[in-house]
Amino acid sequence: MPGVAHDADPPGLRPQGGPHDLADLGAVMVAQHDIGVLVQAGGRQIVHERVAARPRRTLQPGLVRLDQHRVETQLRGEAHDRLRNRRLEHHDKLPRDGLRITHADDCAILDGVTLAPTRTFVPQTLQLGRHLVAPPVVLAPMAGITNVAFRRLCREQGGGVYVCEMITTRALVERIPKTLKMIAFAPDEEFRSLQLYGVDPDITAAAVRMIAEENLADHIDLNFGCPVPKVTRRGGGSALPWRRRLFGRIVKQAVDAASPAGIPLTIKMRKGIDDNHLTYVEAGLIAQEAGVAAVALHARTAEQRYSGQADWDAIATLKQALDVPVLGNGDIWEASDALRMVEHTGVDGVVIGRGCLGRPWLFADLQAAFAGGSAQALPALGEVAAIMSRHAHLLVDALGDERHGCADFRKHVAWYLKGFPVGGDLRRSLAMVSSLAELDDLLAQLDPAVPFPAESLGQPRGRINAPGKVSLPYGWLESRDDDTVPEGAEMENSGG
């Protein structure tokens, strides 16, 4: 598969040397800044002298409880802000095949010292286990969207990781036919990526073992970010990290089940339930200690759903707290947004969700951007129509039924035509097609010379909804350390 190299050595991704010896303090190390290593010990913060090898931040069970708000405030302090604008030292630990952008206008005077121009490191690869992925771009799993047809359409544009729709662990281990059919990969999809949703540690581990033993995928991601009420009210998705012991058991058992087969396991999560119940730093540390290959953060809370702006500062906070690769997700509508996120947060890669809806060519823009180019695809309406037709044909081939494939395509029409001057009647007809011949006849009525609507660039796509109260199981917030699996939590239907 283009963009993925196998059996590559992972140079520089994991810092050498074990944790610095702070056992006498009974401390949890939470951050390293350019002024030293910041440590929380016994309810107070101290600055420990700089050490030669960057220590891993680890949770030491039974010593200190991590206070999410204290850590977030700490990481967003002056030292964190200063470091975020001077990432050269940190990124020297990453593979050398990256791009550096120099900003001459970033010179500043600080405490009488003139700083050299800052340089932003733009990573060009992402290490997931033995797999080297280029560019460091991930297509987020989206229910009813990221099937084999859409993934192929996107893969043809550029490299990266293309994740299938969410698979529920219970449906997988019980071999529900619909779920097994959803685990479909094209013959040339060499790096097969699959996302699992589960709430029971044992069932999740069984699902991972099944994937490994039956060679169903090369990469597994665990879903801890879904904000949908039918998921959170069962204690799943973005609600689950609040129960940190249960979260830790799920991740640890999944990693242990995947490791013998050499399958890298990652997690994707949100900031927390709401602004008063943030969990992302602590959850990231727990996942890192469990052995995950990377952590992805959608920088919104479950309460926000898909409203407002993504909090990129939270992504920067998480990046500073972890040693494993961190991927950022939220409000990446253009390739330039991805580079801005890297510059702002220092992340190791980006996750693309709604930004590619009706725009699979975004992955071509991303490949060019991470390689140092500035090319941007602005297809005219005729080119968009050709992609729409190909998308529908791929869906029909994948689903094996023309009527079903065309019906599945209908939801994509509005996304493809966003911003183009296409009349309401024609739009409605396209959104009701039932055959490929009908679709092609309607597409032929479009003016192929109409240029791409530049005013739609950078605009949100897909669902945009208002914040809403998060549905949770009764008493869910009362105990963070209860690791009991919620009754009826496992879902039988895959796809979200």
Tens digit of each residue's pLDDT (9 = 90 or more) over 420-475: 999 999 999 999 999 999 999 999 999 999 999 999 999 888 877 788 899 999 99
Q: Is the pLDDT of residue 309 over 50?
A: yes
Q: Are strands 36-41 and 44-48 parallel, antiparallel or unpaired?
A: antiparallel
Q: Is the pLDDT of residue 268 over 50?
A: yes
Residues 188 and 235 in one domain: yes
Give the whole-number percent of the chain exceeding pLDDT 90: 69
Residues 293 and 199 in one domain: yes
Q: Which long-range contacts (CB under 8 A, 24 or more apart) does 456-460 make?
A: 456/418, 456/419, 457/333, 457/334, 458/333, 458/334, 458/337, 459/333, 459/418, 459/419, 460/331, 460/333, 460/354
Domain contains 267: yes
Domain contains 91: yes
Residues 227 and 333 in one domain: yes
Residue with tokens 């420990």: 48
At residue 18, the pLDDT reads 32
Domain with 73, as residue range(s), is 4-122
At residue 467, the pLDDT reads 87
- Number of domains, the chain: 3
Domain contains 473: no
At residue 120, the pLDDT reads 60
Q: Is the pLDDT of residue 64 over 60?
A: no
Residues 230 and 130 in one domain: yes
- Rounded to an integer, the average pLDDT of 287-315 is 96
Out of 85-89, 292-296, 319-323, 411-415, which region has the weakest mean confidence (pLDDT)? 85-89
Tell me, what CATH number does 437's domain have? 1.10.1200
Q: Are strands 265-270 and 219-224 parallel, antiparallel or unpaired?
A: parallel
- Residues with catalytic annotation? 226
Q: Are strands 167-168 and 193-197 parallel, antiparallel or unpaired?
A: parallel
At residue 492, the pLDDT reads 62
The count of other CB atoms within 10 Å of the CB of residue 171 is 22
Sorting pLDDT into bands at 50, 70 and 90, what band is 80?
A: very low
Tens digit of each residue's pLDDT (9 = 90 or more) over 1-55: 445 544 443 333 333 233 333 233 233 333 333 323 333 333 333 233 322 333 4
At residue 74, the pLDDT reads 53
Tens digit of each residue's pLDDT (9 = 90 or more) over 89-102: 433 333 334 443 33
Domain contains 282: yes
Q: Is the pLDDT of residue 374 over 90?
A: no
pTM for the model stands at 0.78
- Give me the chain's average pLDDT, please: 81
Please give the Cα distance from 292 to 495 (Å, whole number): 23
Q: Is the pLDDT of residue 271 over 90?
A: yes
DSSP codes of every residue in 35-95: TEEEEEETTEEEEEPP-SSPPPP---TTT----HHHHHHHHTSHHHHHHHT--HHHHTTS-
Residues 37 and 148 in one domain: no
